[in-house]
Structure 1
């Protein structure tokens, strides 16, 4: 009985040792869980850079209506807030004094012309008999001088008459440019003069308007001088004007010029846009936003900024190859767009890019790729 018990005990120990060995082998056969990373598949598409800045609307032309002669305003000849044409009468200054001055100037001219005819005829007669000795050389010279002075008086009287007629014409104040006229600043019965500092009204040409935006010189360079992957085209630069809610105005706008100098105090430059304004929705003095989109490439790649690792010797990203291994790839960037960083070289469409979890990766490490969930 003792021998049989010992045999059973040895068998139990052997089975126990064998079981432990099997457990160890099973544990050794199991590989640790692969590192989980979040990836996104790169897709090629149109790449552009968009920037926006505050801007202010400026009328294409602004004319302050001022009198060129003095007098009493007798009539306003326009409707306030209406469209006026160049040369259209706007105000009437009492013309009676100017008509009287024109009549006086006409009389002065007539007297000067009569005197000139008389002295001219006398000089002609003396010229015919001066060789006979009946008239002295001095008398003949005096007659010629008097005739010349009379001719000068005629020219002076004509100039004076022309000036008086011009003053009479200026008594009707006309619009120098076409546009929309604002409210009147003087009324009938007001006394005005050419030395007044207050305008009678203001006409602003607004079928086209300027929009001036001030922006840092560095931002302007990013828009105007951005490198392009495709050949430049006439539509490479798109300009739009936005209201306070961010909605674009239904107007055609284009970049007219950028400032040629930088403000010493602010470091800003002026960007001037010209825009069609047929519906007059853009009013002078209005603040809006100027948005400029620069085309970069038709089939470019944009990657999230969080996927980029930056070192002194360049930029790199982590990708996952077809075998599920992590790969470190250097990339060259061409700038930033509204969607992320623009890739100039180093990546291709279809690459699985790691956007989360790259801090734990090593070259060739097996990973579990989890697709990036789209934002709701």
Structure 2
């Protein structure tokens, strides 16, 4: 039977169309994943704490005698030295008191001489019964009273000298003095509540930091178990504008009591402050390395995921290049890595790239993280007609 030419053309077109739609065949191998081989290392456990600066020494200048201020002998806001004169209180009344005390002393000393001569004379006459023994005893007692009065008047002279000296108000410590709260002509008293001025020593300067009692207990637990070693790393500061303070400080002590209102413990560090950048009362952030973990495991953050319950998990390449799921416990962030407390160990190959393609139990091809992607494992198969 003869086949129509039109039918032959349609059949040929259909066959050609079917051959053209067939896709090339690929020889697919294991999924390639980027891994990081974990290693144990010594890691300083740095803690960030907040605190405020406190003057190394602080003293309020107060008058010890009453009177009118005659002159100010310092520049407000400047540096003063211990013992430097700051105020002069009118000395005239105290000069008069000293002169009066000295006159009383001279009078007492003169009375001693007369009392002694009388006592000595009566002591000789009582043997001859020229005077009664009572009169002799009275003369001796008068001499002793005159001697005691001399000591009393000498003490009065010393007191008057001290008070006269107090009219010159000196700096009790070295440091920077603030503004004067009293001007020339003001009346000040020895018992007044307001200080004349305040002096603060700011080089070195203290920084008082607050740490929760729970964190402090955690650190002590590590030390007791031998998991970490004491570390003498310095304390670093960040200022309120975010800049780093150029000098490093040293931890001085930890408070022995916990604040019942905040549940925190105060730590104090000392910093050099020759340039005067740090002023008392400034808010700062401190980074202090309180201990060191000798065999810590640091895992890149991209290799740690969270399950629906919030737990930390990781994918590792196990034996036979098969993917394993690990439940891990992370302690803190150290730089751009997690400090792993448990769940991972040295030598584990942690998957950090291609985690979406790595399925637990599947065989993968591990390569070092950051390596360029490999070419396809197989070539396209030839077309069939």
Give the TM-score normalised by structure 2.
Answer: 0.78
- 1:272 alignment partner, one of 256, 265, 268: 268
- 1:367 alignment partner, one of 361, 364, 368: 364
- 2:277 alignment partner, one of 281, 296, 309: 281
Q: Residues of 1 paired with 2:180 and 2:326: CA distance? A: 70
The alpha-carbon distance between structure 1 residues 233 and 214, as it changes in their structure 2 partners (threshold 3 A), is: closer
Equivalent residue, structure 1, for 2:160: 164
- 2:348 alignment partner, one of 334, 346, 351: 351
Indicate whether 1:110 and 2:106 are aligned: yes
- 2:322 alignment partner, one of 322, 325, 328: 325
The alpha-carbon distance between structure 1 residues 119 and 229, as it changes in their structure 2 partners (threshold 3 A), is: closer
Whether the aligned pair in 1 keeps the contact of 2:178 and 2:199 (CA below 8 Å) is yes
Equivalent residue, structure 2, for 1:190: 186
Can you give the 5+ residue segments of structure 1 that lack an aligned partner in the other structure? 2-26
Cα displacement (A) at 1:166 = 0.5
Equivalent residue, structure 1, for 2:135: 139
1:69-99 CA-to-partner distances (Å, cap 9, x unmatched) read 0111011001111111111100000111111
The alpha-carbon distance between structure 1 residues 267 and 373, as it changes in their structure 2 partners (threshold 3 A), is: farther
- 1:101 alignment partner, one of 97, 101, 112: 97
Q: Residues of 2 paired with 1:214 and 1:226: CA distance? A: 20
Cα displacement (A) at 1:138 = 0.3
Equivalent residue, structure 2, for 1:177: 173
Q: Residues of 1 paired with 2:291 and 2:230: CA distance? A: 9
Q: Residues of 2 paired with 1:52 and 1:202: CA distance? A: 32
1:193-252 CA-to-partner distances (Å, cap 9, x unmatched) read 1121111111111111111122311223445664598984663x3311211233321223
Equivalent residue, structure 2, for 1:81: 77
Q: Residues of 1 paired with 2:42 and 2:226: CA distance? A: 11
Q: Single out whichever of 214-223 and 144-153 deviates more from structure 2.
A: 214-223
Give me the CA root mean square deviation.
3.5
The alpha-carbon distance between structure 1 residues 188 and 309, as it changes in their structure 2 partners (threshold 3 A), is: closer
Q: Residues of 2 paired with 1:222 and 1:338: CA distance? A: 17
Indicate whether 1:63 and 2:30 are aligned: no
The alpha-carbon distance between structure 1 residues 111 and 101, as it changes in their structure 2 partners (threshold 3 A), is: same
Number of aligned residue pairs: 344
Cα displacement (A) at 1:51 = 1.9
- 2:204 alignment partner, one of 203, 208, 212: 208
1:270-324 CA-to-partner distances (Å, cap 9, x unmatched) read 11111121111111111111211245246642124663789xxx99854214742
Q: Residues of 1 paired with 2:28 and 2:248: CA distance? A: 62
> How do 1:217-228 and structure 2 match up within 5 A?
217-222=213-218, 226-227=222-223
